[in-house]
Structure 1
Amino acid sequence: MSHEGIRIVSAERARREDAEHEEMPTSSVSPKKVRVKKTDGTGVEIEWHDGHKSVWNFVWLRNACPCATCHEDREKTGRLPGEARAKDQTLLKMYEAPARPLEVTPVGKYALRFKWNDGHESGIYSWEYLRRVCRCDICMTKQKLEDGA
């Protein structure tokens, strides 16, 4: 018997992964209005058909990139979507420009794709993904309660 593909995860992580696969109502993942504030450099705002409003800044969105490479990197380092990668400790710190999109394009009627100033552009931010990673007080409180904090 092969054990390939079997992995052991904590109960918290299993609950989080199960929640990621729960189907959400259509009104929760259908945007009514999408504002990408590229010129302002501030971020993305979405008003959903169920009346909810979500807001993210560009740095957070870049650190939450849903592409396979970024997802695997976050898993290896134990980071959640939106958490920055730890910087190497060096004597002289190099300036790093904050993440901002050079281009933002719709992907069909279900997602956005960003071409970031660091050259990365493979993440497709689906409406469902964006709703699941909402950073508003209501969603953050709900997430803390579900995580048992």
Structure 2
Amino acid sequence: MSHEGIRFISEEQARKEQALQRELPREATDPAKVRVHKTEGTGMEIEWKDGHRSAWSFAWLRLACPCATCHEEREQSGRQPGEPKPQPPTLLPMYQAPPRPDAVKPVGRYAISFDWNDGHTSGIYSWDFLRRHCTCEECRSGISSQE
């Protein structure tokens, strides 16, 4: 019997995946205010209509790109959105400019898109994706106001 296509996950990972599947209230995925700190190069903040506040660094956003290519690469390597690739040990690491958007564009009323300084432009970050991947302590610990 072949086990190809079967994937075994930990109980914690199963809980996280279940949380990502549940429906969120509209106020939880509707931004009241979006601030992209492009000039400062620090990241993006969203104040949601339900009063919750989320913030992401540009490095996290670039590593969490939801486009099909980036998503598949993360899935194959077992990384979560925002988790960096393991770097091979080298004597002299190559300098890589920190991720920064060259342009930021709204995508309808449901998302935001970045043209990154590394040339990548295909990720569409939906409000739902961003809220489900909030990096605040409250959300990371699972004691979320989203429930």
> Shorter-chain TM-score: what band?
0.7 to 0.9
SS of the equivalent of 1:84 reads: coil
Deviations 1:49-76 (A, max 9, x none): 0000001110011011111111111112
SS of the equivalent of 2:51 reads: coil
Tell me, yes or no, if structure 1 residue 139 matches structure 2 residue 139.
yes
Distance 2:140 2:21 in 1: 18
Unaligned runs of 5+ in 2: none
- Equivalences, count: 143
Normalising by structure 1, what TM-score? Answer: 0.87
Distance 2:61 2:126 in 1: 12
Unaligned runs of 5+ in 1: 144-149
SS of the equivalent of 1:70 reads: helix
Corresponding letter in the other structure for 2:85:
R
Distance 1:137 1:17 in 2: 18
Normalising by structure 2, what TM-score? Answer: 0.88
How far 1:141 moved relative to its partner?
A: 1.6
Corresponding letter in the other structure for 1:19:
A
Stretch of structure 1 that moved more, 129-138 or 2-11: 2-11
How far 1:8 moved relative to its partner?
A: 4.2
How far 1:16 moved relative to its partner?
A: 2.3
The percent identity for this pair of structures is 61
Deviations 1:83-106 (A, max 9, x none): 111122222211000111011100
Distance 2:79 2:7 in 1: 18
Matching residue of 2:102: 102
Matching residue of 1:75: 75
